[in-house]
Amino acid sequence: MKTTLLRAFVLGAGLVAVPALAQDSETFGVQTTVAPFCSEMTISSVPMNLGNLTGATGQVVNDFGGATESERELAASFYCNAPSKVTITADPLLNAGAPLITDTTSFTNRVDYVATLHWDDVQGNDSSLETAGEQITVGQANIGQMKIKLSDPTVANNKRPVAGDYAGQIHLTVALAQ
């Protein structure tokens, strides 16, 4: 009986010790795509209030520093995940309702200025004296606060602006570089 038990034990141990079936493994890649994208700006349609453009002598002030709003945040965290182009164009402040100016050597209905865009470490500006605007190339993905600042009001030949309301526009385009 001992021999039978010993044989059964050896036979049982041999079954457990049988080598496992052969294994196979493969390595394979996976892929996906991230499309180039820029987030959206939600710019207020309320015009920036630059305050009074003339000082005590009727001449144009040399700084918008005392203005109600010469700087505005356009986005707290604007981003493009790929290279992009930013175009900024400043239109002059015009008094469209001004009567015909007969003394054009002394008076004007146009005030020019500089619009400066700051987007994280990217900066560029455009003067309303230029008609083409400024194109800023952003060579890599960028994220950060985007804001605009208006400065340096000026008139041609030190003319005095005629009384009335002045309005202009800033055109800002952010496009993915192609």
The pLDDT tens digits for 39-58 are 988 888 889 999 888 888 88
pLDDT at 9 over 70: no
Distance of CA 178 to the CA centre of its chain: 17
Q: Rounded mean pLDDT of 126-150?
A: 95
Alpha helices in 67-173 (DSSP H): none
Q: How far apart are alpha carbons 143 and 72 in whole angstroms?
A: 17
Give the global pTM.
0.81
Q: Rounded mean pLDDT of 142-165?
A: 94
Give the DSSP letter of residue 44.
-
Residue written as token pair 């920036």: 48
With a CB cutoff of 8 Å and minimum separation 6, the contacts of 74 are 41, 43, 146, 147, 148, 172
Q: How far apart are alpha carbons 168 and 135 in whole angstroms?
A: 20
Q: What is the CA radius of gyration of the chain?
A: 35
Per-residue pLDDT band at 19 (split at 50, 70, 90): low
